[in-house]
């Protein structure tokens, strides 16, 4: 019971630091805000902040990386990599506990800063390479196999497109529930394309 209380308090502290940082970034710009200012505004010591977030960049990019490789590696017995990924993003599309304003604020902060945009691209590239390695292992082919790399690239591009469409709808004022339903539809389309190819999708819809 005490362990559970400690974990809840740690999560509350982490959340407070993250929310404070994002508010300051949105108000003044990422580069103008220091770690000391974030710690002071969040009511924690600087060393405490670094225990949760190793750098200021980590505060801005919190939650940006999708660990698709872990989803593939941790899939259930008999589940294909694409099946596991489809199920993961299908469940995410059904999530209703999303702070829309916080999400859009993070997108705006990142989009306004070239260094953060570059860090996002680097993060996505690293995740793509990890996914390729996981796909190669799942298929029983050597690490670095070009087929696994190509598939990882296609999956990553599809997920990025899904996310961008979702963000654009929210930014345009589409209610979260409607945006989620549209995302769920798009997830099925994206993974059908990945699994069966464009020609089969055209035949289905004709």
The structure tokens 């593939």 sit at 72
Give the pLDDT confidence of 159-168 residue by residue, as tens digits.
999 999 999 9
Domain boundary among 33, 60, 87: 60
CA distance 136 to 86: 18
Among the listed residues 11, 70, 55, 57, the one whose alpha carbon sits nearest the alpha carbon of residue 30: 57
pTM flag (> 0.75): yes
CA distance 176 to 198: 29
Domain boundary among 60, 76, 98: 60
The structure tokens 């800063």 sit at 113
What is the extent of the structural domain holding 137?
68-205
Give the pLDDT confidence of 88-139 residue by residue, as tens digits.
999 999 887 888 999 999 999 999 999 999 999 999 999 999 999 999 999 9
User: Do 92 and 113 reside in the same domain of the chain?
Assistant: yes
User: Do 157 and 81 reside in the same domain of the chain?
Assistant: yes
Instruction: Identify the CATH number of the domain in which residue 51 sits.
Output: 1.10.10.60
Sign of CA dihedral 39, 30, 97, 193: negative
């Amino acid at each position: 019971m005490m362990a559970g209380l400690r974990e809840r308090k740690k999560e509350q502290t982490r959340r407070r630091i993250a929310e404070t940082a994002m508010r300051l970034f949105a108000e003044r710009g990422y580069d103008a805000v220091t770690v000391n200012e974030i710690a002071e505004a969040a009511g924690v010591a600087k060393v405490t902040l670094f225990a949760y977030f190793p750098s200021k960049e980590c505060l801005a990019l919190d939650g940006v990386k999708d660990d698709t490789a872990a989803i593939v590696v941790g899939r259930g017995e008999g589940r294909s990599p694409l099946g596991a990924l489809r199920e993961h993003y299908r469940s995410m599309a059904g999530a209703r506990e999303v702070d829309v304003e916080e999400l859009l604020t993070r997108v705006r902060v990142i989009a306004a800063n070239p260094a953060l945009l570059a860090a996002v691209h680097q993060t996505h590239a690293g995740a793509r390479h990890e996914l390729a390695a996981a796909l190669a292992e799942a298929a029983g082919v050597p690490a670095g196999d070009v087929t696994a790399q190509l598939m990882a690239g296609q999956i990553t591009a599809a997920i990025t497109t899904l996310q961008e469409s979702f963000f654009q709808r929210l930014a345009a004022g589409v209610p979260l529930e409607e945006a989620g339903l549209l995302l769920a539809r798009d997830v099925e389309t994206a993974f059908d394309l990945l699994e069966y190819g464009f020609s089969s999708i055209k035949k289905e819809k004709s």
